[in-house]
Amino acid sequence: MNIRKYIVIVFSILAVGACKKGFEGTAKIPAPPETYMAVSKIERSGENRLTTLVEANWWAVSDGGFIKGYEISTDNQQTWQYTSRQDSSFLLKIPPGQDSADIAIYVRAIDHLGQTDPTPASTLYPIKNSKPEVRFIFSSPIAGIPSQNPVNIFPVLKYNIFGEDPDGSDDIFQYELFLNDTTSQPYLLPANTSSFLMVANTPKANNSDCKIYINGSNNALSLPVNGLQLQANNVLYIRAVDKALSRSNFVATPSIWVKKVSSDILLVNAYTSNKIFVQNFYTSNLSKIGVSSFDTLQATEVVDNNFTQLQPDFQAQNKVFGFFKKIVWFGDDASFSFSYGQRTTTDFFNNGGQFFMAVAINSNFDPLSNFLDWTPIKSLINPPAASVFRVNINALVQPVKSNWPTLKSTAIIASARPFELLENTPAIGYDSVYFGGIIESKTGLPPIPWLGKSAVIAKRFNLSNNQTNFVISSLPLERFNGNNNMDSLFLKIFKEELQF
C-alpha cells in the first residue's frame, strides 16, 4: 500500500473516533441556587420591637445558570408565594391575643431549570402590635353651605368613620359599636365599614332596636343593633379591633336628641324667613279642619352655620320621611325644596304616602332643571321676553271645579310661576285645581292679565282608585286668604283629596 494513502486512512479513523467521543460526553447540570438576605436576624426587644409592617431584601446566585424568581413564606414555610422582585413590604401576623412575636421571613430562589434552593434564607423579625385608631368624620361648611351635623332628629342616625392602624390598614379586624353604654355587648361592624346608618324599628316607642346599613347599602345587616333611647339624648361609642385583638380607645359622638315619631303626619318647614308666621298659618288652619296631631321638621334651621335637623345625607333623610304617611311641605326656596324632596321621598311614596307641597317659585329657578320630575309639573311657564309674572293684591285665583273656594291675594307676589302639567299615563292622572291671578308686567308698560297657561295648583292621582297622592302649589297659600276661606281650601285639599 502506498505510504501516503496509509497515513490518510489512519488519520481519518482517528478523526472519526475523536468526534464520536465528543458527542458521547454528559453536560454539567448547575447546582441549585443559593439565596441570601440582607440580614439574618434583627436584635430588638421591648418597646424597640418593629411594627408588623416590615421591609425585606434578598438576592441569589446560580453556578452555571440564572435566577428565574423567588418564593416567599411568612408562615414558617407552610405556604409559599412566587415573586420576581428582590424586595417587598410584609404585614406580619401576630397570633391573636398576643402583643408581640418573633416572625421569620423565608426566601428561596428558583433557577431557570426550576431548581429550588433547598436551604432557604431567612430573617427573624421581632415585632410588636400597634393599637388601631378610629374617629368619626363630621361635615364642615363648604362655600357658604352649612354643614349637616344634626342635633335634634327622628330615630335615624348616620355617621362616617375612619379607621387606621400603624401596622397597616389591612390589620383592622372589625369595629365595636355601643349605644349609650360601653359595658354592654358590642355590635360588631366589619373591617370595611366607612359609614353606618341606624333606623329605628319602632319609631313611636320609648326605645328601639335598629336596622343597620353600612357604606350606603340599601340592604340592612342581618342583626339589629340595640339600645336606642327615644325622647332622650343618645351617645354612640366606637372602637377599632385589629387582627391581634388589640382595641383602640373609645371615641364618642356628641350627644344627640332623638325624638320619637308621634304622628303619621309630618310638617316640613323649609322657609328661610317668616318661618314662625308661615308655620302658624298651616298649623292653625289644619287645626280648624280637625288635624291637630303632627310632627314637625325644621328643614332650614341653621345654628352656627350647621343644619340642626337635616340628616347628613339623602339616604338617611329618605328613611326619616319613610316613617310618615302624610307630609305637608312649605318653603320659599324652590331650588332647595324641589331638589331635596326629589332625593329624599322615594321610601315615602313607595310606602303609599300622600304629599302636599307649596313652594314659591321665583324667577331664579332654572326651568330646565330636572328637580321637577318627581312632581305633577311637566315644566314652568316662562314670561315673554323682558317681562315678569306677578300677582297683585286682591287678585283672584279661580278653581277649576265650582265647589272649590275662590282665593284672593293679600300681598304682592313679585315673582309667580304658572306651570304645565304632565300628561296622563295608563296608571297616573294629573289635574289642574286652580288657575289665573297672574299678570304680565313689563318695564314702562301697564301690566296686563296673563292669558296663557296659568295652572298654579294641581294634583296627581291614581286612575285605578282616583286617590290623590300629590297636591302642589306654586303660590304661597299664606298670602291668599283675602276671602277668609282658607279653612274651606284646607278641607278640600287635606280632607277630601289627601284623606288626612
One pLDDT digit (tens) per residue for the chain, 500 residues: 444 444 444 434 434 444 444 445 566 788 999 999 988 778 888 888 898 889 999 999 998 889 999 999 999 999 999 999 999 999 888 888 788 899 999 999 999 999 999 999 999 999 888 899 999 999 999 998 999 999 999 999 999 999 999 888 788 999 999 999 999 999 999 999 999 999 999 999 999 999 999 999 999 999 999 999 999 999 999 999 999 899 999 999 999 999 999 999 999 999 999 999 999 999 999 999 999 999 999 999 999 999 999 999 999 999 999 999 999 999 999 999 999 999 999 999 999 999 999 998 877 787 677 899 999 999 999 899 889 999 999 999 999 999 999 999 999 999 889 999 999 999 999 999 999 999 999 888 899 999 999 999 999 999 999 999 999 999 999 999 999 999 999 999 999 999 99
Run of H or E including 176: strand 172-179
**Hey, what CATH class is 265-497 in?**
alpha beta
CATH number, domain 133-258: 2.60.40.10
Instruction: Let me know: does 92 contact 123? Beta carbons within 8 Å.
Output: no
Residue 272's SS3 state is coil
The whole-number pLDDT of residue 250 equals 98
Q: Can you tell me the distance from the alpha carbon of 282 to that of 478, in angstroms, rounded to the nearest whole number?
A: 8
The whole-number pLDDT of residue 20 equals 41
Q: CB under 8 Å to 484, separation ≥6 — which residues?
A: none
Residue 57's SS3 state is strand
All CATH 2.60.40.10 domain ranges in the chain, comma separated? 34-128, 133-258
Q: Which fold has domain 34-128?
A: Immunoglobulin-like (2.60.40)
Run of H or E including 339: helix 334-344
- Residue 302 vs residues 152, 153, 270, 281, 386: alpha-carbon distances, Å: 12, 14, 11, 22, 36
- Taking the whole predicted model, whether its pTM rises above 0.75 is answered as yes
All CATH 3.40.50 domain ranges in the chain, comma separated? 265-497
Q: Which DSSP state fits 303?
A: S
The whole-number pLDDT of residue 25 equals 56
Task: For residue 241, give the nearest of 169, 195, 193, 172 by alpha carbon.
Answer: 172
Q: Can you tell me the distance from the alpha carbon of 168 to that of 79, in angstroms, rounded to the nearest whole number?
A: 22
The whole-number pLDDT of residue 170 equals 86
